[in-house]
């Protein structure tokens, strides 16, 4: 991000709009001007957009990208822009007529911040631009101090503090996006898709102690380890994941669930994280179906609350050993039951054989007081 930008209330973003339709570009220019953002550059292709970005002296504050364009499409352009040094966190809004889930997922995985379908409502567009504006202003507030922070980091040779309660950027993890993009992803799904989707939460046990006792770099490494494990355990569902903060990860699944949450929990604790000193709990799945898309965000809160309640219900009880997942434990208990049952049968057969020998021996055998008593047990 750029430094030294004015922080006045009238701050106007520098925006690049990329679309092969001049009518859309004209409409965007008018809508942005009404919102107080008159500095809009235009590009009619991804190739032209990269040229405009390379030629500018100060980076753009926000980018609006169409998906369907000749040559390189908007999703590939988004990924290319994210790889540039000046644009790792710049708001990128996808403006497109493509509403299929595949396009939405690919856009967010490529680094999109938001996704708006055409024909878009001007009020909705203004609201989304306003959100991007607030993001830019917040980042500009800390931009001037970035050089000082980097110098202090070099002096004290330490990793910057990692917040326990706030979302943290975990870097590149499979199918994992930033939490703001995660919420925007939910808002971008169609109502029909929401009713066939679900969300579940995973939480690291004793995360407060981990955060307090470990250095920031070590704590972040543990977060990444859990995120990687969650992604591996849900790979078959093609879930979209995010880290919410406070040791909680979220996963949205659209396909039919192949594993129950308790099986995912047992698999992570018993196989993936075995021996790592980390234990997790996985809460119940919550449907994203709602009358409104914003109501679907409440399902995310419910999923996080569900895993918190699960931990409260466990209380002081120790979790199952990670070396013995729940399925293995059930199998072990079944084997123990069978062993006891077989022992009982052997004892019954021994008693019955002794009784038969006594009856066959008749009078030459032991006296009546010494004859074995017939078994009264019945084979179940």
DSSP 342-362: HHHHHHHHHHHHHHHHHHHHG
Q: Are residues 224 and 135 in the same domain?
A: no
Does 179 lie in the same domain as 149?
A: no
Q: What is the CATH number of the domain that holds 198?
A: 3.30.70.270
Helices first, then strands: H and E counts in the chain: 13, 10
The answer on 168 and 153 residing in a single domain is: no
Domain count, the chain: 2
For residue 298, being part of any structural domain is answered with yes
- 212 and 316 belong to one structural domain: yes
Any long-range contacts for 228-237 (C-beta under 8 Å, 24+ apart)? Answer: 228/173, 228/174, 229/268, 229/272, 229/273, 229/280, 230/202, 230/268, 230/280, 231/173, 231/174, 231/175, 231/176, 232/174, 232/272, 233/259, 233/264, 233/267, 233/268, 233/272, 234/264, 235/174
- The answer to the question of residue 35 being in a domain is yes
Domain boundary at 157, 177, 208, which? Answer: 157
CA atoms of 88 and 94, how far apart (whole Å) = 16
Q: What is the CATH number of the domain that holds 12?
A: 3.40.50.2300
Residue 217's nearest CA partner among 151, 275, 160 is: 160
Cβ count within 10 A of residue 366: 11
Whether residue 22 is contained in a domain is answered as yes
pLDDT score at 290: 75
Same domain, 3 and 148: yes
The reply to whether 242 and 142 lie within a common domain is no
Low-confidence ranges of the chain (pLDDT < 70): 1-11, 140-160, 191-192, 255-258, 291, 293, 315-380
Q: Which of 278, 297, 323 is the last residue of a domain?
A: 323
pLDDT value of position 320:
43
Bridge partners, residue 15, by sequence:
40, 62
Q: Is residue 346 part of a domain?
A: no
Answer yes or no: is 335 within a domain. no
pLDDT reported for residue 10: 55
pLDDT score at 147? 60
How far is residue 273 CA from its own chain's centroid? 17
At which of 157, 182, 199 does a domain end? 157
Question: What is the predicted pLDDT for the residue at 5?
Answer: 41
pTM, whole model, 2 decimals? 0.62
Q: How many CB atoms lie within 10 A of CB 106?
A: 19
Residue 302 sits in which domain range?
Answer: 160-323
Do 37 and 73 have their domain in common? yes
Asked if residue 38 belongs to a domain, the reply is yes
Task: Please check whether residues 91 and 150 belong to one and the same domain.
Answer: yes
């Amino acid at each position: 991000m750029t430094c030294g930008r004015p922080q006045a209330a009238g701050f106007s973003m520098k925006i690049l709009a990329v679309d092969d339709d001049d009518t859309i570009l004209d409409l965007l220019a008018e809508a942005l001007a009404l919102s107080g953002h008159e500095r809009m550059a235009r590009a009619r292709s991804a190739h032209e957009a990269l040229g405009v970005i390379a030629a500018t002296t100060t980076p753009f504050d926000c980018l609006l990208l169409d998906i369907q364009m000749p040559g390189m499409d908007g999703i590939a352009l988004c990924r290319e822009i994210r790889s540039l040094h000046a644009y790792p966190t710049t708001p990128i809004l996808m403006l497109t007529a493509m509403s299929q889930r595949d396009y939405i997922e690919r856009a967010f995985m490529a680094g999109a911040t938001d996704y708006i379908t055409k024909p878009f409502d001007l009020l909705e567009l203004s609201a989304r631009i306003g959100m991007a504006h607030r993001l830019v202003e917040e980042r500009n507030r800390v931009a001037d101090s970035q050089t000082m922070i980097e110098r202090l980091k070099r002096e004290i040779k330490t990793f910057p503090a990692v917040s326990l309660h706030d979302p943290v950027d975990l870097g590149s993890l499979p199918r994992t996006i930033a939490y703001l993009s995660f919420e925007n992803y939910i808002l971008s799904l169609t109502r029909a898709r929401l009713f066939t989707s679900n969300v579940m939460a995973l939480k690291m046990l004793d995360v407060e102690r981990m955060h307090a006792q470990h250095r920031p770099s070590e704590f972040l490494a543990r977060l990444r380890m859990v995120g990687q494990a969650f992604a591996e355990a849900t790979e078959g569902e093609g879930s979209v994941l995010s880290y919410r903060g406070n040791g909680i990860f979220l996963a949205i699944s659209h396909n039919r669930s192949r594993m129950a949450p308790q099986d995912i929990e047992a698999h992570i604790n018993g196989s993936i994280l075995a021996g790592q000193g980390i234990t997790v709990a996985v809460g119940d799945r919550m449907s994203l179906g709602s009358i409104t898309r914003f109501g679907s965000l409440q399902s995310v809160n419910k999923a996080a609350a569900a895993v918190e309640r699960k931990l409260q219900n466990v209380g002081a009880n120790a979790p199952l050993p990670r070396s013995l997942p729940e399925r293995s434990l059930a199998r072990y208990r079944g084997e123990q039951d069978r062993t006891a049952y077989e022992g009982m049968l052997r004892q019954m057969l021994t008693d019955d054989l002794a009784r038969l020998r006594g009856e066959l021996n008749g009078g030459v055998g032991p006296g009546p007081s010494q004859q074995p008593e017939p078994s009264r047990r019945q084979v179940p």
